[in-house]
Amino acid sequence: MTKVNRIGKIYGKLLVIREGEKSSSNKITWVCKCACGKKTIVCGDNLQTGNSTSCKSCAMSLRVVSEETREKRRQNLLRDYTRMNNP
Ligand SMILES: [Zn+2]
């Protein structure tokens, strides 16, 4: 099985920060930062299939976000991410 590097990729509201620990079922997980600022750990399969596109609290309060807001959030997220890696 080829290992996919998802770091820096965006899945819905989630930005992949780093690889997480293997799950109990020995699946690859990823530590993601949600657009709301929370960190969440997601199984790689769920990112791939689009099952997970936000943290759990966002998934519960799922709202329709306009494209403009989404794009703005994405840029903020990327900016935070860049800042985090370039202190
Ligand atoms: Zn969230």
Please report the pLDDT score of residue 65 as a whole number: 58
39-45: long-range contacts, CB 8 A cutoff, minimum separation 24: 40/14, 42/11, 42/14, 44/4, 44/6
Look at residue 3 and tell me if it is in a domain. Answer: no
What's the domain count of the chain? 1
Question: Ligand 1 centre from 40 Cα, in Å?
Answer: 8
* Per-residue model confidence as pLDDT tens digits over 31-74: 999 999 999 999 999 999 999 999 988 887 765 556 678 888 88
Look at residue 1 and tell me if it is in a domain. Answer: no
Look at residue 36 and tell me if it is in a domain. Answer: yes
Question: Ligand 1 centre from 56 Cα, in Å?
Answer: 7
Range of the domain at 20: 10-85
Question: Ligand 1 centre from 36 Cα, in Å?
Answer: 4
pLDDT tier at 1, thresholds 50, 70, 90: low
pTM reported for the whole predicted model: 0.66
Question: Ligand 1 centre from 1 Cα, in Å?
Answer: 30
Look at residue 33 and tell me if it is in a domain. Answer: yes
